[in-house]
Structure 1
Amino acid sequence: MPGNSDFFPGFDRRDIQIGKVKIHLEVGGSGPPLLLLHGHPQTHVTWHKVAPRLADRFTLVVPDLRGYGDSDKPAGGAGHEAYAKRAMAADQVGVMAALGFDRFGLVGHDRGGRVAHRLALDHPHAVERIAVFDIAPTATMYARTDMAFATRYFWWFFLIQPFPLPERLIAADPEFFLRTHIEGQSKTPGSTSEAVFAEYLRCYLDPATRHAICEDYRAAATVDLRDDAADASNRIVAPLLALWGAKGTVGQLYDVRETWREKALDVRGRALDCGHTLQEERPDDVVRELLAFFA
C-alpha cells in the first residue's frame, strides 16, 4: 500500500470496499466522527496540517475520493455517472457506515465540498453539521459564468471537453499543469510543501487519475446539474458553515454566504486571509473555526 503515514502520524491507514469501489483512507483520533473530503488536484493529504489538532476532539475519517489518490478509479460510463456527486457521496456514507458511524460531521474543500453538498441532500439523516471550503454551489457558478470566472477557472471548461482531449494535453507535462494549478490558486507561497506536492504529483502521474479527474468535471457539467435541477426546491437541513479565501476567485466573485442561503436553511461563515486552499494556507484559523462550529 502506498505510504502516506508520515503525513498522519498515529492514524490507521485502511482500504474499505464499498460495492465495486475501494476507498483508501486514514482514521485517527477520538470523539465524535468527522469526515474530511479533499478537492482537486489534492488528495486526502491536504488535511495533514489540521488533522493532528482536530484528532484531539474528533474521530477523523480522511479518505481519497473515488478517482483520486489511492482510491479506485472506475470507468466513468457513457454519461459520466460513475463520477456523479451522488455516487461519490454514497461511497462516503458507505465508508462511515462500515466504520460504525451512521451520523457524523462533514467537511469538504473544493470538489469535496460538492460531494458534501450532495451527501447532505441525499442523506440528511447522516449529517450532523456541514462545512464547505471555498466554493459556491456548482449550479450557481455555472449559471453565473462570465469572462472573469471563465478566465480564472478555465479548467472547469477545459477538463469537461470530450475524451481524450484534456487527458492527452495534460499528459504532455503533468507536473507543469499540476504545479501551475496549485500555485495559481494558493495565495500563500510555500503553503504546499515540496513533500506534499510530491505526493500529489505521484498520484497525478497516473493516467487513470487524470482521466478520473476529467470524468469528475464532466459529471459536474452534466449529470450533477440535472440532479441539482431536480432538487432545486430542496435545502440542506443541517447547519452549514461556509469558509472561503478572501484572496481567491470564489471570495472575489461571489457573495458566498448568500449563495449558500439559497441552498441551506441555516448558514454562517466568513472569509479567511488566504487563497483557495484554506487548510494548507491558514490551518490555525481552520482548526479554530471547525472546533467552534462542530463543538
Structure 2
Amino acid sequence: MVHTLIPGFEASDLTLANGQRIRTAVGGRGPALLLLHGHPQTHATWREVAPELARDFTVVATDLRGYGDSTSPESEPDHASYSKRAMAADQVEVMRLLGHERFAVVGHDRGGRVAHRMALDHPEAVDRLSVMDIAPTATMYDRTDREFATRYFWWFFLIQPSPLPETMIAGATETYLRAHLRGQSRSEGVPNEDLVQEYLRCYRDPETVRAICEDYRAAAGIDLEHDRHDTERGHLVTRPLLALWGARGTVGRLYDVAATWREVCSGPVTGSAMDCGHLLQEERPAELVSRLRAFLQA
C-alpha cells in the first residue's frame, strides 16, 4: 500500500519465522539501507530523511517489535523477548526477506542500540552503521549520576515492575507523551503536530506501552548481560561506525560521544555534533542526509 506519511514509499507488514509482524516501508533503489527509529517514535520519524536517501539507496524503514504497528510479543521474566538481540534478529530477517543479505544500518535512540547489537551478532550482514544521539547502553548505566538520572528519568521509571509504569502512563497518556517529546527537541515546532498525532495514536495502545516498558526493562537487565559478555570476550564492533549527536541534547552534554564508541569498536569510528537536540532526523533533516550520504558512500 502507498505510505501515507513518507512520500514515494510503499508500506507492508512482513511476518517473520518467529510469528512477529513488522511494519515495513520501502522506497528507492541502490545499495540497501535500514533505518531504525527510537522511543517514542515510529518509522514515520524518517519521513523527511528517507525520501532524500532513497535517491541513492534502497531504503527500508521499520517499526521495531512492540512499537508503531509492529506486533508486541508476550513478556518474559528476564525480558528476553524485548532484548536488543531479539530486536536485531527481527530486522536482519526483514532485510533478508526483502532480498538484502548485506546492508548499512542507521539507528536513532533505541534503534541505535539495536544497530549496535546487530553489528555484534550479525557482522556478516552489517556493512556499516551510524548511531544517533546515544552512547553505549552499558556506558550510560555505568556512568549514571544525578544529572543523567534527572534528564533521563524514564530510564528508571519505565523499568519499574509491571504494571506500575503502564498504569500511570494510561492515566495521562497524552500529557506524558507530549512532555517527553518536548524534552527531546531543542527546535521550535519539532516534532510537527501530525507526527505527534501519529506517535500518540500508537502510544494509546496499552500493548505498545507494555512493550516499551519491556524494551527498557531489557536494557537494564539482559541487554547489559549481553554487552558485558561481549566486553569480557573482547568482542567489538568491527564495521565502520559514524556517531552523530545533538550538541544541545543530554548525551552531547554529558559524554564524549565518539570516545565512548571507540571503547566498544575495533573498526574505524568517526563522529560529530549537530546543532540540535535529540531528534536529529526531525530537527535537522537536510544536514543529517548530507552527513549520512557522505559516510555511506565513502
TM-score (norm 1): 0.98
**1:264 Cα deviation after fit:** 1.1
Match of 1:89 in 2: 88
Q: Which runs of 5+ in 1 are unaligned?
A: none
Q: Which amino acid aligns with 1:241?
A: L
Q: Is the 8 A contact 2:135 2:255 kept in 1?
A: yes
SS in 2 for 1:188: coil
Query: Quick one: distance in 2 between partners of 1:269 and 1:7?
Result: 30
| 2:279 counterpart residue number | 277
- CA distance in 1: counterparts of 2:74 and 2:251, whole angstroms: 30
Q: What residue in structure 1 maps to residue 58 of structure 2?
A: 59
Q: Counterpart of 1:250?
A: 251
SS in 2 for 1:199: helix
Separation in 2 of the partners of 1:32 and 1:141? 33
Q: Distance in 1 between matches of 2:27 and 2:295?
A: 20
Q: What one-letter code is carried by the residue in structure 1 that aligns with 2:14?
A: I
Matched letter for residue 251 of structure 1? G
Specify the alignment match of 1:220 in structure 2: 219
**Which AA in structure 1 matches 2:262?**
R
Return the letter of the residue paired with 1:270.
S
Could you tell me which residue of structure 2 aligns to residue 204 of structure 1? 203
Q: Which residue of 2 aligns with 1:164?
A: 163
Q: Deviations over 1:75-120 (max 9, x none)?
A: 1211101000000000000000000001000000000000000000
Aligned to 1:8: 6
Q: Superposition pairs for residues 84-163 of structure 1, below 5 Å?
A: 84-163=83-162
* CA–CA distance in structure 1, aligned partners of residues 29 and 69 of structure 2: 24
Contact residue 25 and residue 60 of structure 2 kept, 8 A: yes
- In 2: Cα distance, 1:6 partner to 1:247 partner: 31
Q: How many angstroms apart in 2 are the aligned matches of 1:147 and 1:253?
A: 11
Contact residue 7 and residue 47 of structure 2 kept, 8 A? no
Distance 2:115 2:50 in 1: 18
Show CA shifts across 1:5-45 (max 9, x none): 22112211111111210001100100000000000000000
**What is the TM-score when the length of structure 2 is the normalising length?**
0.97
2:288 paired residue number: 286
CA contact (8 A) 2:247 2:275 kept: yes
Look up the SS of the partner of 2:124 in the other structure.
Answer: helix
Count of matched residue pairs: 293
Aligned 8 A contact 2:10 2:27 in 1: yes
Describe the SS at the equivalent of 1:90. Answer: helix
RMSD of aligned alpha carbons = 0.9
Q: For 2:35, give the aligned amino acid.
A: L
Q: Distance in 1 between matches of 2:289 and 2:35?
A: 12
The answer to whether the 8 Å contact 2:32/2:57 transfers is yes
In 1: Cα distance, 2:175 partner to 2:196 partner? 12
Distance 2:189 2:74 in 1: 35
